[in-house]
Structure 1
Amino acid sequence: MGLITTFRPSEQKKAVFFQSLITMKVLVATEKPFAKAAVDGIREIVQGAGYQMALLEKYTDTNQLLTAVQDADALIVRSDKVTAEVVAAAPQLKIVVRAGAGYDNVDLGACTSRGIVVMNTPGQNSNAVAELAIGMMIFMARNQFTPGTGTEIRGKRLGIQAYGHVGRLVGRYGKAMGMEVSAYDPYADPSVFEEDGVRVMDTVEALYEQSDYLSLHIPATEQTKASIGYSLLTRMPQGATLVNTARKEVIDEAGLVKALEERTDLKYITDIAAGNQTALTEKFGKRVFATSKKMGAETAEANINAGLAAARQVVGYLKDGDTKFQVNK
């Protein structure tokens, strides 16, 4: 006689629940891979919660991503583009987490229309970006580390546009270097400026007028795209430097060229090369500089922090419905 196993209703519910956990799949799709330590940590978090993990690294064709997302319930990416096409190819997708602060590489409209939650991991890359911004100021002050008499940043006026996670750290590091720090951010809680001992500017124009170094940390939105151009740059003091570790889209490139032409004392440095970067470098020489690729978050620590945070947020949402870091509410 065969063995017959019966479940009470509560046990049946548990069985269905745990089976759903086992079959849920979290896809980590990174054209530019996470560090091995980050991947190992993500796997431990995901599998420890009872989910499957799939890994797609260094893919060279979008079709590889389209195939991989077909049975994914959750997606973790870095700078990978989650387009409407990708969303359409993933019928089971419930959540996308961008491991990093910016999320303009994710089509929010396509996700929202499907009821897919989109999150970022704010603060995880902040220290890496802030250190880079300060390093860029020193790099430009010392003639890009080439022979010649440079200047010091101590005693100079540092302006910060957008006082979020990164902006606050840049301000603190600037103060530690002996700089006078001001900030403009109409969305920030006024108490943070007082807490950090930072001077608040009432207008963005006033910030530019009183900044020897201006550190940009605004996101690329419909309101901010191409918002930094000739009018603001020509308000800056003699010998001023604009530091952009935010997004290239916020720069009005034609306006930047015009300002640099008229103001031969101005300098511009970025870790997001402009569309006309080659022409800028040829025309303005050491007054401009761009890294070969975006490197604000390119530290081992930031790589690991963002990856682990993304994994925890995926698990938190799938298990408990936690939407704390949702950006498409």
Structure 2
Amino acid sequence: MKVLIATEKPFAPAAVEDIKKELATAGHEIVLLEKYTDNAQLLEAVKDADAMIVRSDKITPAVLDSAKNLKIVVRAGAGYDSIDTAYAKEKNVVVENTPGQNSNAVAELVMGMLVYAVRNFYNGKAGSELKGKRLGILAFGNVGRNVARIAKGFGMEVSAYDAFCPADVIEQAGVRAVKSQDELFQTNDIISLHIPATPETIKSIDYRTVNQMPKEGILVNTARKEVVNEEELVKLMSERKDLKFITDIKPDLDEEFKKFEGRYFSTPKKMGAQTAEANSNAGIAAAKQINSFFAEGDTRFQVNK
């Protein structure tokens, strides 16, 4: 089978070699398309591919129409909103993700940005410590659990809310379970977002929600840009001079947020999974899933059933 590794934002070189080795164990032909600058390049490369491994690449109906032999697309990572899963299903193309492989990398980034934020972005003035701060985690999936684990090591008081995770599961992890999203925002100094972008969550982090945070609140977003109502958050931060917003997903209103000097930080590009370990873990997992799919018909990670 021909497997296309299509990554506008490439894997680390060592990760590419790991992926190739895993696919080679099953005798697959491997084609590499990195740093492509035109969608036409992707459309051409996918024409005769039987399988694809992608990162944040957009797999649109046009891509799927061009891929006449395509049977499976694996997103090396957890989020898959860049793939038209419904159209893929119509085309009988299996879409999978690799949940959990990037979780520790994202969680470490959260804590690294938090240290940077509470130390006033290292501007030379006295900041504060994370020890004793109250951290609220919105969604207790793989990333949220890793954030909780690391935060407890900092001596933080950790609570979480997840509409789909039972309270007793959260409590078993040594984390206080709250009863609602509103309660989470009302009772924590810092909120870390780990919700997916769905019709229910898009722009749900809005003026009313964030305004419930106590004085000197910090909002952290390493989830999806779309879940934050940027217009309303800009309005709130212009009114509340105590709030900080840090993210690894550059907002559409980046220039507006930059006006809040000392209270806003964004990485130039999405950085959550940008470690050699996460690259390798997610890439190898994707390769193994493709091997299992063709060898055994394994679709346990399918997201478009």
Equivalent residue number for residue 231 of structure 1:
208
Q: 1:320 aligns with which of 288, 296, 301?
A: 296
Q: 2:55 aligns with which of 78, 91, 102?
A: 78
Paired residues for 1:215-230 under 5 Å: 215-230=192-207
Asked if 1 retains the 8 angstrom alpha-carbon contact of 2:96 and 2:302, the reply is yes
Paired residues for 1:37-56 under 5 Å: 37-56=14-33
Q: Matches of 1:63 and 1:50 in 2, distance apart?
A: 28
Q: Does 1:136 align with 2:136?
A: no
Q: Matches of 2:166 and 2:213 in 1, distance apart?
A: 26
Equivalent residue number for residue 87 of structure 1:
64
Equivalent residue number for residue 292 of structure 1:
268
Q: 1:158 aligns with which of 87, 110, 135?
A: 135
Q: Does 1:122 align with 2:99?
A: yes
Report the 3-state secondary structure (helix = DSSP H, G, I; strand = E; otherwise coil) of the residue aligned with 1:71. coil
Q: Tell me by how many angstroms 1:52 deviates.
A: 1.1
Equivalent residue number for residue 4 of structure 1:
none
Equivalent residue number for residue 64 of structure 1:
41
Per-residue CA shift, 1:158-203, capped at 9, x if unaligned?
Answer: 0000000000010111111100000000211444312211111111
Q: Does 1:259 align with 2:236?
A: yes
Q: Does 1:303 align with 2:288?
A: no
Equivalent residue number for residue 28 of structure 1:
5
Give the paired residue count.
305
Report the 3-state secondary structure (helix = DSSP H, G, I; strand = E; otherwise coil) of the residue aligned with 1:235. coil
RMSD: 0.9
Q: 2:227 aligns with which of 238, 241, 250?
A: 250
**Aligned AA for 1:288?**
Y
Q: Tell me by how many angstroms 1:276 deviates.
A: 0.6
Asked if 1 retains the 8 angstrom alpha-carbon contact of 2:234 and 2:256, the reply is no
Per-residue CA shift, 1:31-71, capped at 9, x if unaligned?
Answer: 12112221112111212112211111111111111011110
Q: Matches of 2:281 and 2:169 in 1, distance apart?
A: 24
Report the 3-state secondary structure (helix = DSSP H, G, I; strand = E; otherwise coil) of the residue aligned with 1:181. strand
Q: Does 1:109 align with 2:86?
A: yes
Equivalent residue number for residue 150 of structure 2:
173
What's the % identity of the aligned pairs?
55
Report the 3-state secondary structure (helix = DSSP H, G, I; strand = E; otherwise coil) of the residue aligned with 2:258. helix
**Aligned AA for 1:73?**
D
**Aligned AA for 1:102?**
G
RCO higher in structure (CA 8 A, sep ≥6): 2
**Aligned AA for 2:195?**
I
Q: 2:170 aligns with which of 181, 189, 193?
A: 193
Runs of 5+ in structure 2 lacking a partner? none
Moved over 3 A (4+): none
Per-residue CA shift, 1:182-233, capped at 9, x if unaligned?
Answer: 0000211444312211111111000000110100000111111000010111
**Aligned AA for 1:221?**
T
Give the TM-score of the pair, scaled to structure 2: 0.98
Q: Does 1:212 align with 2:202?
A: no
Give the TM-score of the pair, scaled to structure 1: 0.91
Q: Matches of 2:184 and 2:278 in 1, distance apart?
A: 29
Asked if 1 retains the 8 angstrom alpha-carbon contact of 2:205 and 2:229, the reply is yes
